[in-house]
Chains A and B, each alone.
Chain A
């Protein structure tokens, strides 16, 4: 078939066609073409169209299996020819299946005896193409309709995937919201719990503070009790200390009492003699009476040992006064020693040492000589004097026991030296109290444990193991000081308590 080159797109008007295609080629490249002859009947159709519309060949223009729906009103061949000259768009549709639609152009044949429709299928989805009985091979390779079918499929798949992704996103969002809600709820609960914990913590903290205060009070009481206990333990010794002066004061008072009786008798003898002398004796009898008085006085004076009385009485009075002073000083020392004062104050540690030595005298008196070497320029130390007294007492009593362990009942005496001195340094430096003895000494393996609570080397009943432990706590914890110890078995020990002046 030859078509009019003037009406063939892409050809130059008026030029003769360079190529004329045979029917086979036309069928291959236009499997959906169609041609009407002058009678208005289909005289030629592409192979796919023939397959899709088996009765298309020979069918009329009007009421045939394929209808021209655009342009409208084409009823005769002349209408077709006219349309081919003017209309560009032509649409055909299957009479029995409106899904079969073709879109293309009308082209008159070169001899004007026929009009040819060149078109393509209008189908937008694979399902319709399948329903129409098409296969991919029905579409020429250049036909974009097949591409559109695949693109439409890909688009549908894409949309499905987008929906899936959206759904997934929504699910994730929901999960996220749920998790956020859950976390918010959980946080809220946690906050409530935290608030509750905070209250409980506050309560616990208050209880702990109360317990701490209670414990401090108990510790304070305990320290005081220990000090009083130490005083109590010393009571027997102190009583002995007091008893001695009281004893000789009593003896002296009894002597003075007796002497006073003698003096009274002597005075009475004098009084008799004076009365007899004032009576102016004239008679022999009266003179004899006077002589008797003289003799009585002499005897009385002799009996009363007035020389002795006059010589001893002042001494007895002096000794008694000294004895009372001693008792008084011991009582004063006891009061100072056991002072339950818990406050810190500036304290003269020399005085603390002497006081303690007075109180403890009975502990060392029989076994050791106490030598004191007290620094006269010792600065006062801010401390709790009662506690420091207890420390010195512990060291002195321990020293006495250490010496006693050496001398026993031999009558020999060791030496306890108590020294104080000022160690200059920042913030006033330190004050050192050294208690040194010539006692039994300690082995090297014992030294690290001496400050442990309940550690003692003394025989059962002689020590509780609390003394040094308490002393250590008082010095280090409560006064930020130190206790230095050196000891040699068989030679003695030395304890040096160092307290910061500003403690």
Chain B
């Protein structure tokens, strides 16, 4: 994953728990990197190790850390210069999510090593929608849950996100039900 992702993990831990906690997370993860370069690719293992170490240091389940990170990622990427891009992706959640694949493909020109997931949307109603998530990476469903919740919040919606299908249960991809609580 690109350094931007690791920087987001760093930002989340540092903002919520302080620089000492981040230093301990890095130490625990065995990651000896002074500063992650956003445009530089790093092995996925670095990110996984950081999340695992954060879970240990903060004494939180890894799922909770990933979910928090998914929510945080939306704010972080907007703050780090991609806010207009997010704005450009549509004015409602279904449009926004449907644009993700397109955006990821276009971003490959700038991030040639990007291995993005694929997201498609179905069953869109006023009260809910279904997100189909396909990724080469395993174990990131909690991250997507947080991300979808934050994406809904971008459009002023409060959503409850549940995993309805999972590769863990033998399906070929994950499915998430996004239900608006304010519908």
Residues of B near A137 (CB, < 8 A) are 90, 95, 99
A154 near B107: Cβ-Cβ < 8 Å = yes
B35 near A153: Cβ-Cβ < 8 Å = no
A126 near B84: Cβ-Cβ < 8 Å = yes
- A129-B88, A136-B99, A161-B38 in contact; A147/B81 too (CB < 8 A)? no
Give the docked Cα–Cα distance between A147 and B106 (Å): 5
Contact mask for chain B residues 144-169; partner A; CB cutoff 8 A; 1 contact, 0 none: 00000000000000000000000000
A134 near B88: Cβ-Cβ < 8 Å = yes
A150 near B85: Cβ-Cβ < 8 Å = yes
Residues of A near B90 (CB, < 8 A) are 135-137
- A134-B88, A135-B90, A168-B35 in contact; A153/B106 too (CB < 8 A)? no
Residues of B near A156 (CB, < 8 A) are 81
Interface of A is mostly: helix
Interface of B is mostly: helix
**Most A Cβ at <10 Å: residue of B35, B110, B111:** B110
Give the docked Cα–Cα distance between A327 and B82 (Å): 123
How far in angstroms is the closest Cβ of chain B from A437? 80
A157 near B106: Cβ-Cβ < 8 Å = no
B95 near A158: Cβ-Cβ < 8 Å = no
Q: Does A287 contact B (CB under 8 A)?
A: no
Residues of A near B172 (CB, < 8 A) are none
Q: Does B39 contact A (CB under 8 A)?
A: yes
**Most A Cβ at <10 Å: residue of B39, B84, B91:** B84
> Which residues of B, 92-107, contact A by the 8 Å Cβ criterion?
95, 99, 102-103, 106-107
Q: Does B109 contact A (CB under 8 A)?
A: yes
Residues of B near A147 (CB, < 8 A) are 106, 109
B39 near A126: Cβ-Cβ < 8 Å = no
Give the docked Cα–Cα distance between A158 and B37 (Å): 9
- A130-B88, A136-B88 in contact; A158/B107 too (CB < 8 A)? no
B91 near A126: Cβ-Cβ < 8 Å = no
Q: Does A443 contact B (CB under 8 A)?
A: no
On A, residues with C-beta under 8 Å from B are 126-127, 129-130, 134-137, 141, 146-147, 149-151, 153-158, 160-161, 165, 168
- For the A-B complex with A129-B84, A153-B84 known, give 8 more contacts whose Cβ atoms are closer than 8 Å: A126-B84, A141-B102, A146-B102, A149-B85, A150-B103, A154-B39, A154-B111, A156-B81
On B, residues with C-beta under 8 Å from A are 35, 37-39, 80-82, 84-85, 87-91, 95, 99, 102-103, 106-107, 109-111
